[in-house]
Structure 1
């Protein structure tokens, strides 16, 4: 698959700031600032979506996005992916297999209809809350693993350490060992990048879990369920819909994960 330029080189930029102290003193300092660019996603020649994302690991983003958008079911459904720099952003071109190509056209038609007909909102709501696949694997670890992963996560976030402006998504082993991490200015993008990296490497969750530096929204629950993740842990609170969707899919949640405590929703 075409790799294009190495976009990780532009994930942050050094910029100058004037630092103003409470005592009125002013000095100049440089900080690494996270990049955020429009990423246009094109599927089989059709414009599908535009995301605001960090410009690193975009091939991973393409794979994860295609899976969690339900455009593909497995890595082999994505025949090719290419990243191209364009004016003021990046173009991510995905080529889907003939077996699933019809899904793209159906979704594009549906989005076009949404913008032209108020009645289509009913169908949009049904699409937004489509049934989730039942849990295919069970998390076999203990809560101590979440605390272990939390303790190791900071050291696994180079972009976060430099900018303090991005989210991270980590794939963790049952004992909390961090296996893969992806970072992005958007929490959804970070998780899609992680899922995409695992998909490209043919790497399963192996009874482990995902740890996200974000709140637990229903979209992240759905991405976890669609990637067959057994358990999702987040450092911030969940929404009620996220808990309901997780229970529907049989996905275990650990939320408000802190170094000294976490919460487990009670069914």
Structure 2
């Protein structure tokens, strides 16, 4: 039975599986051997269904799955607006979880016209895409008034690290976060896959009241083409990553009006595109 998206869902109130588990391990350190209990981030197949039709299967951390469904739907162009999503159900399946999304009829008709079978590995953004035209989507030019001094990002990533509870326990997850204009890290989402973490952030932003035109997306990964594409789809003007970028991602950021910063750590960064928003141009 379909149901409306609620605040309880946003808090993760209906998750079917734990995001982490414990396991007895044998640790070797500096020649000493010990038996210990370790924490492992969970990774399960998550099937996305739209109006009863299977669309994609991604390996993901089973947390914030409603955010994931909303964000994936928006950043992959399944829907144009959160208003096109009428309800979400998360159900256990034989080998994972099924997220059943009810979307507006026009969006579903358009989806059927360009359906793809996508079996995604962790962190894989384009696995299963059927055509080059489908890969090379062109987002609209981002209109953003965001501006930050470079030093703000060091503080932001430090704050993000403190809020990565799953990483702290398991050491196996990426995070995507929303940085407000005042420098506050307002939203944090974690996942074993970097694309999934950003989709979860996109979904959380779609639920809330954040001003996407004045903030920035920060991620604990490299800045690939799809990370830039998802940021542009969100409408954010800045993507800051702790690692580097690809040439394709830089070309997309340049054309989409996204300020792309890489190697943001240790008091330095590399501005690949539109450096004026970083107050260094």
Please report the TM-score for the alignment, with normalisation by the length of structure 2: 0.86
Match of 2:240 in 1: 233
- 1:68-217 aligned at under 5 Å gives the runs 68-108=75-115, 124-217=131-224
Whole-angstrom distance in 2 between the partners of 1:82 and 1:193: 16
Structure 2: where are the runs of 5+ without partners? 119-127, 275-281
SS of corresponding position for 1:211: strand
Deviation at 1:176, TM superposition (A): 2.3
- Judged with a 3 Å threshold, the aligned counterparts in structure 2 of structure 1 residues 111 and 154 are, in CA distance, closer, same or farther, namely closer
Structure 1 range deviating more: 135-144 or 70-79: 135-144
1:221 aligns with 2:228: yes
1:36 aligns with 2:43: yes
Deviation at 1:259, TM superposition (A): 2.6
SS of corresponding position for 1:92: strand
Whole-angstrom distance in 2 between the partners of 1:264 and 1:8: 41
- Judged with a 3 Å threshold, the aligned counterparts in structure 2 of structure 1 residues 77 and 60 are, in CA distance, closer, same or farther, namely same
Q: Is the 8 A contact 1:145 1:174 kept in 2?
A: no
SS of corresponding position for 1:71: coil
Match of 2:23 in 1: 15
Whole-angstrom distance in 1 between the partners of 2:208 and 2:182: 21
Provide the aligned C-alpha RMSD in A. 2.1
Q: Is the 8 A contact 1:5 1:83 kept in 2?
A: no
Match of 2:124 in 1: none
Matched residues, number: 257
- 1:49-64 aligned at under 5 Å gives the runs 49-64=56-71
Structure 1 range deviating more: 13-22 or 2-11: 2-11
Match of 1:45 in 2: 52
1:107-132 Cα deviation digits (max 9, x unpaired): 22x659xxxxxxxx9x8112211221
Deviation at 1:87, TM superposition (A): 1.3
Match of 2:122 in 1: none
- Judged with a 3 Å threshold, the aligned counterparts in structure 2 of structure 1 residues 206 and 136 are, in CA distance, closer, same or farther, namely closer
Q: Is the 8 A contact 1:257 1:263 kept in 2?
A: yes
Deviation at 1:104, TM superposition (A): 1.6
Deviation at 1:41, TM superposition (A): 0.4
Q: Is the 8 A contact 2:14 2:90 kept in 1?
A: no
- Judged with a 3 Å threshold, the aligned counterparts in structure 2 of structure 1 residues 8 and 242 are, in CA distance, closer, same or farther, namely farther
- Judged with a 3 Å threshold, the aligned counterparts in structure 2 of structure 1 residues 237 and 70 are, in CA distance, closer, same or farther, namely same
Whole-angstrom distance in 1 between the partners of 2:133 and 2:67: 28
> Which of the pair is proportionally richer in helix?
1
Q: Is the 8 A contact 2:48 2:98 kept in 1?
A: yes
Please report the TM-score for the alignment, with normalisation by the length of structure 1: 0.90
